[in-house]
Amino acid sequence: MVSKRLSRLEGHRRKFIAVIDDTPECSRAVHYAGRRAKNSNGGLVLMYVIPEGDFQQWLGVEEIMRAEAREEAEAVVAKAAHVVRETIGIDPEIVIREGSATEQINAVIEEDRDIAILVLAASSAKEGPGPLVSSIAGRGATFPIPVTVLPDTLTDEELDALA
């Protein structure tokens, strides 16, 4: 059970969370979540989850691998945040975690009680709609807040109209 959301209380604001990953549809979720946040005077959280890797090497190698993964995560999220600032005009919060995506998303939602909506974008690729959308559809993952799943066929203008 998730803690009570605080986004409607005085001094709080509703936040949208978008997960940054290496999927092409990720930018659609960020765009829509950013527009929704701006249009509702809310906030945007950009989250990157470093996958559970095989960091079980010798101590020195493990530390180097973790540092490289962290640097890559910071660069990818910084780029997405820059796009949000330039195109939408809001300054997103950035969260980087390591572990299972579902577990880490749920942990961030529990920690930040202003987060009210998770935004994901589906892919129409033959491999499937994407890892997070697939896990939700297959009931492999559940989240304690509403999840908005965007089809990849929408243009930026159509996303803006919906936001």
CA angle 53/29/77 to nearest 5° reads 50
- Residue in the block written with tokens 């243009």: 155
Over its length of 163 residues, how does the chain's per-residue pLDDT go in tens digits?
567 777 676 777 899 999 998 787 889 999 999 999 999 999 999 999 998 765 566 667 777 888 888 999 999 999 999 999 999 999 999 999 999 888 999 999 999 989 999 999 887 666 655 666 656 655 556 778 888 899 888 888 888 898 8
Give the pLDDT of residue 117: 94
Give the pLDDT of residue 151: 86
Give the pLDDT of residue 128: 57
Give the pLDDT of residue 125: 63
CATH of domain 13-160: 3.40.50.620
Segment (H or E) for 109: helix 101-111
Give the pLDDT of residue 66: 83
Tell me how far apart the alpha carbons of residues 161 and 85 are, in angstroms, rounded to a whole number.
19
DSSP class of 11: T
pTM equals: 0.85
Could you tell me the two tokens for 135? Answer: 């896990």
